[in-house]
Amino acid sequence: MSELTPSARPLVAPRQRWALKAQHVLAEEALVQGRPLADLIRLLLGQRGIVNETAVTDFLFPRLAALGDPFELPEMEAAVGRILKAVDSREHVILYGDYDVDGVTSMAVLNLALKAYGLDPKLFLPHRMEEGYGVSHDGIARAFEAHGKPGLFLALDCGTTSLSEMAALRGAGVDVVIIDHHELSPQGRPDCEALVNPKLGDDYHYFCTVGLVFKVVHALLKRRALPDFDLKQMLDLVALGTVADLVPIVNDNRILVRRGLELIAQTPRPGLQALKKVAGVDGLVQTQHLGFRIGPRLNAAGRLDTAATSLQVLLAETHEEAADGADLLDLHNRERQAVEQRVLKEAEQQLLELEDIESLSAIVLGSRQWHPGVVGIVASRISRMFHRPTILIAVDEEGVGKGSGRSIPGVSLVEAIEPCRDLLRAGGGHAMAIGLSVLEENIANFRERFGEVVAAAIADQELSPTLEIDAELRLKDMTVDFLNQFVLLEPFGMANPEPVFLCRGVMPRLPGRVMKERHLRVTLMQDGIHQDAIYFNAPLDNLPPPPWNVALRLQRNFFRGNESWQFTIEGIRGVDETIAHL
C-alpha cells in the first residue's frame, strides 16, 4: 500500500499525559448543612486555595452582601459623576459596545439602568465586517450619522486602546467614559473623562465588562438611589456575559454568577425565555448551558453580520418579539456552525501540509477563503487540540488580514505580539485571547517571529498536552452527602474548573452502545457498584482491554423536574499505564 498523501493522512492530535494533582492540601474540617464536609470536597477546596472555615463558608455559600465596594475600582468616582451630570442635564447619550455576549449584555444592563434614571440612550454596535472590533473612526462616524453627536459617549467592552479615536472625540467636544477590561495600549491611557478598567489598578482583574457595568450601576445607586429599580434583577444578564466571556469565576464574579444562574432558571425576561427555549435549556441552569447553548446563539449574529438582533432579543418587551429574534439567532447559529466547519477543515488541511507540527511553538494560519467572524472559534479548537498558542487570519480582497488568537497557560498573547508590532497594523486583547490586523504580505514573517517569541517564553514540556486530574474517586464515594456538597462547588468555569476524577480498575460492560457512530454509552462497574457513563468522540477502534483507569467528570442533569447524575468520560487508559504526579 502506498503512503498516505497529505490530503488523505489523518490529522492526529498528540496524546495527553495524565497527571494527578497534589492530594495533601485539605480544607479545615467543617459542618455543611449539618453534615461533616466530605474528605473529597475538602481536597477539592484545598486545591483551590480555600482552606480555613471562613473561606469555605464564603465559597460554598456566596452572598451578595459580600460584594466589594464599587468605588474601589479605578476612576469610578469620575465615571459616576459624569454620568449623573448627564442625568441632571438630560444629555444626549450614545452607548457604543462590542458585538460579543459581554458587549451586548453590558449594553443591555446599562441601557436599562440609564432609562430608570430618565435618560434615553441611543445604542450602537459596530458591524464586524465594516467597522471591525472596538471604537473605530468609521464606527464613530456611523454612530453619529445614525444618532447625532452626543454630549456623552459611553464605550463598553472597547475603547481602552482606541487612543486616536478618543482624541478625535475630545476634539469634537464629546465627553467619553470607557468601561472596559481589556489590556491598556503600550502608548498609554486614552484621553477620556473616566476609564473604569481594573487593569489601571492591582485588583478586580477577573471582571469582564458586564461585571464592571454592574459595579458602575451599583455605584450610581449608592450615590443616587432609585426606589423602583432592583439591581438584583440584572444578575441574569451579568451571569450570561460573565460566563460567555470566559473570565475567572472567582470572588465577586462567583457571587454574581451563582445568583444570576438562579435568576435565569426563573427569569421573567422574554428574551432569555425565548433563548432558553430554542437552546433546549429547561429547569436547572448551569454555566455549561450559558457557555455552550445560549452564549453561542447570541454570539452568532455578531460573528456573521450584526449583533443588533442579539441586543434586541435581550431587551425585548414582548414574547412575540423575543421569539422571532431568538429564532433568527438560532438560524444564524446554524449558519455559523456550517461556516466554522468549513474553516476548520481547511485549517486542518494546512496543518497536514506542515512537516512537523510538534516542532512548532505556535500555530499561525491564514486564508482568503475564511470568514473573520469564526476564526477565533476555530483557533480555540486547534489550540486545544495541539496545545499551542494559535492565531487564524482571514484575509480580505485587499490583502488585509483580520486575525484572532487563543493561547495556553504560560503564554500571554498580548505580551507575545509586542515584539511583532512592526509587522502588525493593530492588535490587542487579553493574555489568553487577542484580535489583530496584519497585511497578507507580512503573515509569513509574523508567523516566524511570533513562534520565536513563544518558544523563548515557554519550556518544551509546557507544550505537551496534559489532562490534570483533581482526585481519585471510587464509585462507592458517590453518597447523597457527597453529591449534595459537590453541588455547592458550582458554578464551574474559569479558575474553578469542573473537577476531573480518576477511577482506577473499573470494568466496563462492553460493547456498550454507540451513538451517532462516535459516542459511547457504557456502564462502569467497581466494588459491586454500577454507574452509567458517556464518552463523547470516543476512540472506538482504539480502546484498551479492560479493566480500565478512567478519567471522568461528574455532571448533574435536570429533566422534567427530575435530577440525575452521570459520568462523562474524558479518557481511558490501561491499568498499567503511568500516571504522573504534579
Q: What is the pLDDT of residues 329-375, one digit of tens each?
A: 999 999 999 999 999 999 999 998 886 788 899 999 999 999 998 99
- Please name the fold of domain 17-60+467-581: OB fold (Dihydrolipoamide Acetyltransferase, E2P) (2.40.50)
CB 494 within 8 A of CB 523: no
Q: Would the CA dihedral through 34, 35, 39, 45 be positive or negative?
A: negative
What pLDDT, on the 0 to 100 scale, is given for residue 7? 44
Judge whether 162 and 133 are in contact, CB under 8 Å. no
Q: What percent of the chain has pLDDT over 90?
A: 80
Q: Could you tell me which residues are beta bridge partners of residue 555?
A: 566
Helix (H) / strand (E) containing 243: helix 235-244
Strand-pair partners of 435 = 404, 428
Q: Which residue has the higher pLDDT, 503 or 13?
A: 503
Q: Would the pLDDT of 559 be above 80?
A: no
Q: How far apart are CA 152 and CA 173, in angstroms?
A: 9
192 close to 177: Cβ distance less than 8 angstroms: yes
Map residue 71 onto helix, strand or coil: helix
Assigned CATH topology for domain 354-463: Diaminopimelate Epimerase; Chain A, domain 1 (3.10.310)
Given this model, what pLDDT does residue 167 score?
A: 97
* CA 418/CA 186 separation, integer angstroms: 9
Tell me the CATH class for 68-248: alpha beta
Pairing of strands 17-20, 175-179: unpaired
**How do strand 194-196 and strand 363-367 relate by DSSP bridges?**
unpaired
Beta bridge partners of 364: 391
Give the pLDDT of residue 358: 82
The residue type of 118 is G
Q: Cβ neighbours of residue 13 under 8 Å, at least 6 residues apart?
A: 385, 386, 465
pLDDT range class, residue 2, cuts 50, 70, 90: very low
Question: Which residue, among 50, 19, 181, has the nearest Cα to 489 in the 3D structure?
Answer: 50
pLDDT confidence of residue 354: 80
- Do residues 80 and 223 make contact, with C-beta atoms less than 8 angstroms apart? yes
pLDDT band at 213 (very low <50, low <70, confident <90, very high): very high
Q: Is the pLDDT of residue 4 over 70?
A: no
Q: Give me the mean pLDDT over the 239-248 stretch.
A: 95
Rounded to an integer, the average pLDDT of 286-307 is: 88
Grid coordinates in use for 237? Answer: 444578564
Say what the pLDDT of residue 530 is. 93
Query: What is the pLDDT averaged over residues 252-263?
Result: 97
At 540, the amino acid letter reads L
Question: Residues near 154 by Cβ (< 8 Å), separated by ≥ 6?
Answer: 83, 93, 94, 95, 96, 110, 121, 176, 177, 178, 179
Q: What's the mean pLDDT when you consider all of the chain?
A: 92
- The neighbouring-strand residues paired with 432 are none
Q: Which of 104-108, 356-360, 366-370, 507-511 has the lowest mean pLDDT?
A: 356-360
Q: Where are the domains of the chain?
A: 17-60+467-581, 68-248, 354-463
Tell me phi and psi for residue 392, to 5 degrees. -110, 140
User: Predicted confidence band at 416 (pLDDT cuts at 50, 70, 90)?
Assistant: very high
| pLDDT computed for residue 563 by the predictor | 78
CA-nearest of 310, 317, 315, 396 to 98 is 310
Query: Could you tell me which of 62, 487, 32, 568 has the C-alpha nearest to residue 284?
Result: 487
Banded model confidence at residue 562, pLDDT cuts 50, 70, 90: confident
Asked whether residue 527 carries a pLDDT value surpassing 80, the answer given is yes
> Is the model's pLDDT at 3 over the cut of 70?
no
